[in-house]
Amino acid sequence: MPVAIEFNSVSKHFGEVKALNSVSFTVQEGEFFSMLGPSGSGKTTSLRLMAGFEQPSSGRLTLMGFEAAGTPPYARDVNTVFQDYALFPHMNVLDNVAYGLMVRKMPKPERYALAHAALAMVALPDHGARTPAQLSGGQRQRVALARALVNRPRILLLDEPLGALDMKLREQMQVELKVLHRKLGITFVYVTHDQNEALSMSDRVAVFNRGQIEQIATPRELYRRPRTRFVADFVGSSNVVAADLARRITGHSQCFSVRQENIALAPAGGAAAPGRVQVEGEVLAIQFLGATQRIEVQVGSQIMTALQQDVAAAGDQATHTAPGQQVALHWAAHDMVMLDA
């Protein structure tokens, strides 16, 4: 597949702050690529470099096969959608969407035709005459999307576009964005600090930490095979077992992670079944969550968490477990993922 974006040892410093530190990765054409990480990890800086709002301190950045350096934002084949929509409040929706085309001096009939088409793409065909104030948050975000799409960019950059929406609308827009991505077939680069959003929407996810990328993988790989402690902690709900406890359990001190839902409970005092790893501890708390139940167990100096998927099917051991009790936690040896530091 052709490469849409390539970062080659790209660094970006703001004075003393190393926002990005020699980052290299590629985004394939047509891919839904997410940049996930905590606040300040360098996601937005990466996006702004792609858009041309910032220039790298060092390294090379190419877009659609061309060196990006020296190409101003408006001449790049990219458009950006921001969290705060950045719509003009005094203009109606149609003029907001057509604005970029007007600046490029496209004649009125043509630019309105394209703006109508863009509004239809985001399922707002009849809202052109309203002002942004007469729209809901979700509709405003769709207008912002239409405004970015009206230029028919090859790459769409989205910076936490759903951050201002409530949970329900957010989930609905996630589905709509996925559908739009499939329909348009262009490259989407999506910035988020929400791991569920990144996992549910993306073809691949880059996990950022302190200006570097810890891992780039498909959502499944990232969830099942986190490479580092940071990724295991940040993505999904894992137990990260530190060196001391790891030594007690496996005989060597390499940290490992094991997913909460892969841990089962048994009465204390029994031996581990073949192919399973076992450790004992004291139940600290039980959280009933409806279909699932979360059990926290003090194991040595660490707290491990088991998530029981089907409380009814888990039987007596699940329902009779109580705080203060000694229990055995066990999991399949192949569910342990060894981690780099």
Q: What region, left, alpha or beta, does residue 4 occupy, with left being phi > 0 and alpha being psi -120 to 50 degrees?
A: alpha
Report 79-98 residues binding ligand ATP (CB under 6 A): none
Nearer to ligand ATP, 37 or 161 (CB): 37
Contact status, residue 309 vs residue 290, Cβ threshold 8 Å: no
Report 197-226 residues binding ligand ATP (CB under 6 A): 208
Q: Which stretch binds ligand ATP (CB under 6 A): 39-47, 102-110, 240-248, 317-325?
A: 39-47
Closest CB 83 distance from ligand ATP, rounded Å: 9
Please pick, from the candidates 1, 2, 39, 274, the single residue that binds ligand ATP as defined by CB under 6 A. Answer: 39
- Give the pair of three-digit tokens for residue 51: 């858009």
Based on the shown chain and the rule CB under 6 A, indicate whether residue 137 belongs to the binding site for ligand ATP: no
Nearer to ligand ATP, 43 or 181 (CB): 43
Based on the shown chain and the rule CB under 6 A, indicate whether residue 14 belongs to the binding site for ligand ATP: yes
Please pick, from the candidates 30, 40, 59, 300, the single residue that binds ligand ATP as defined by CB under 6 A. Answer: 40
Based on the shown chain and the rule CB under 6 A, indicate whether residue 42 belongs to the binding site for ligand ATP: yes
Nearer to ligand ATP, 18 or 294 (CB): 18
Based on the shown chain and the rule CB under 6 A, indicate whether residue 45 belongs to the binding site for ligand ATP: yes
Based on the shown chain and the rule CB under 6 A, indicate whether residue 291 belongs to the binding site for ligand ATP: no
Please pick, from the candidates 181, 193, 204, 259, the single residue that binds ligand ATP as defined by CB under 6 A. Answer: 193
Based on the shown chain and the rule CB under 6 A, indicate whether residue 53 belongs to the binding site for ligand ATP: no
Binding site for ligand ATP (CB under 6 A): 14, 17, 19, 37, 39-45, 193, 208
